[in-house]
């Protein structure tokens, strides 16, 4: 399927938005994770162009990539994620999408949980990948990238996200160099530092919040994930009433890249199921 890219006006901002498929089909809103130089296409292009039967909407989330970078982006993960969730709802309004499935990777999964909590009637099924969890040493390395940014530091960081960096050969060097160049932009650096500022609150989903989300949820986690430990998805699976969990081997934090065929098969099966197909599937 072909991609269509546009800058969608959303209030005072613009959201760089990639779309594929027929808008008359069910919509999937793809929410990428955080990290210096991240974008929607780097997370989702291989999936949104190879899953027919859906209208795919993959934005650069507010404060990432080529979307607007508000100078007053709230400090800290909790408040900045809340603003980003609000921007995603406005984007769906502008695109005239009344209801959508959600797919969220890492921070995108956290934003997805906020959306399910705040406007449950607006969303159908959700897929969460490596979403939420206690900080690891490798996550801290990502957060503090701008302490000493460089192509070499970006290559090291990307190796921490992947189970087997060697399978990508010299291509990974070029990908890291390109991503380091994007990360060097002043607006991207500012948004990253404000998002992870210690002066703002952390985002915590308590037991009451999670048990109150009754959507069908597919949790996917890479067994070798060093950024967010797989135990965090076990925690979510224990509390989300209608969750199922799949831990995929030979995958780190980027399951959608390292296990793209398996992920596509799981997502297609899950999103296409009816309520009766998943009754009793809670983890």
Tokens for 226, please give them.
């060093």
Does residue 281 register a pLDDT over 50? Answer: no
**How many angstroms separate the CA atoms of 16 and 50, rounded?**
21
Buried-state track 98-122, b at ≥16 Cβ within 10 A, e below 16: eebbbbbbbbbbbbbbbbbeeeeeb
* C-beta separation of 84 from 4 below 8 A: no
Query: What pLDDT does 280 receive?
Result: 46
Residue 274's pLDDT band (cuts 50, 70, 90): low
Query: What pLDDT does 142 receive?
Result: 97
CATH homologous superfamily of 4-278: Alpha/Beta hydrolase fold, catalytic domain (3.40.50.1820)
Exposure on the CB side of residue 45, measured as CA atoms within 13 A = 10
If one compares 275 and 220, the residue with the highest pLDDT of the two is: 220
C-alpha closest to that of 213 among 204, 223, 221, 205: 205
- Tell me the catalytic residues: 106, 225, 253
Domain boundaries along the sequence of the chain: 4-278
Query: What pLDDT does 277 receive?
Result: 58
**How much is the pTM?**
0.94
- Dump pLDDT digits (tens) for 216-245: 999 999 999 999 999 999 999 999 999 999
């Amino acid at each position: 399927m072909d991609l269509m890219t546009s800058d969608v006006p959303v209030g005072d901002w613009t959201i760089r938005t990639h779309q594929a498929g027929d808008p008359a089909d069910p919509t999937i809103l793809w929410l990428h994770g955080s990290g210096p130089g991240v974008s929607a296409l780097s997370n989702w292009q291989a999936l949104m162009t190879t899953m027919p039967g859906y209208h795919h909407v993959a934005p650069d989330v507010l404060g990432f990539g080529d979307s607007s970078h508000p100078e007053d982006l709230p400090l800290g993960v909790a408040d900045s994620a809340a603003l980003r969730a609000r921007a995603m709802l406005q984007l769906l309004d502008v695109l005239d999408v009344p209801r959508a499935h959600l797919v969220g990777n890492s921070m995108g999964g956290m934003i997805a949980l906020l959306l399910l909590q705040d406007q449950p009637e607006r969303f159908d099924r959700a897929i969460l990948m490596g979403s939420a969890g206690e900080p690891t040493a490798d996550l801290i390395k990502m957060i503090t990238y701008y302490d000493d940014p460089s192509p070499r530091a970006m290559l090291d960081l990307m190796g921490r996200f992947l189970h087997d960096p060697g399978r990508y050969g010299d291509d990974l060097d070029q990908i890291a160099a390109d991503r380091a160049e994007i990360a060097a932009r002043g607006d991207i650096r500012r948004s990253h530092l404000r998002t992870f500022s210690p002066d703002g609150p952390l985002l915590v989903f308590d037991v009451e919040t999670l048990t109150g989300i009754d959507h069908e949820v597919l949790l996917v986690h890479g067994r070798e994930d060093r950024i967010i430990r797989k135990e965090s998805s076990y925690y979510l699976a224990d509390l989300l009433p209608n969750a199922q969990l799949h831990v995929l081997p030979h995958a780190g934090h980027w399951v959608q890249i390292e296990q793209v065929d398996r992920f596509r098969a799981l997502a297609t099966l899950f999103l296409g199921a009816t309520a009766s197909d998943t009754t009793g599937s809670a983890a």
